[in-house]
Structure 1
Amino acid sequence: MSNRAHLLEAVTFAQAGDWDAAHQIAQDYSDSTANWIHAVLHKIEGDTWNSKYWYARTGGHQYEDYAADISRELSAIRQFLESV
């Protein structure tokens, strides 16, 4: 399975509410998109400090970009992954 396909799977898990499965995948990669997913997962968890740490590793995404609209942010990640 490619990195992109695996990260899409992580987004699918996150959108379904399976934080742990999504986290297991996201932490296996270190590219900026995996870091973005990782950041959102920690935002979902309510761990602001850890979330901001991962956002800093995304290459430009910010904690505040989508505020609390996790659904819209996960959709944006999915859209990005499907376009590359």
Structure 2
Amino acid sequence: MDLAEFKTVADPQALNLALQALWHDARGDWNRAHTLAQQADSAAGDWVHAYLHRKEGDIGNAGYWYTRAGQPAVGASVSLDDEWAAIATALLA
């Protein structure tokens, strides 16, 4: 599945929890996305968790989750949309 296909998925249940979290975030349900990212208990879930806290504006907490995910913290010069797409693309690969 590529990013274009992912964006049109009607029901995310067949996806892993990290991708489900991104799917819900794209539809404006930050709380559901956050819950799923926490449940993922994986580096992928930690990466999505970091992104969600960055989106929320909690940069300190985001930094913790980027570190747990083994990913570099993303700076303000990267838009949230671009980061979402980069994470989704990486997790779909």
Does TM, normalized by the shorter one, top 0.5?
A: yes
Q: Does structure 1 conserve the Cα–Cα contact (< 8 Å) formed by 2:43 and 2:70? A: yes
Aligned residues between the structures: 81
Unaligned 5+ residue runs, structure 2?
A: 1-12
Q: Does structure 2 conserve the Cα–Cα contact (< 8 Å) formed by 1:36 and 1:61? A: no
Q: Which residue of 1 aligns with 2:55?
A: 44
Instruction: Point out the structure with the larger helix share.
Output: 2
Unaligned 5+ residue runs, structure 1?
A: none
Partner of residue 80 from structure 1, selected from 64, 68, 90 = 90
User: What TM-score comes out, normalization by structure 2 length?
Assistant: 0.75
Q: Which has the larger radius of gyration?
A: 2
**Amino acid across the alignment from 1:70:** L
User: What TM-score comes out, normalization by structure 1 length?
Assistant: 0.82
SS state of the match for residue 60, structure 1?
A: coil
Moved segments of 4+, more than 2 Å: none
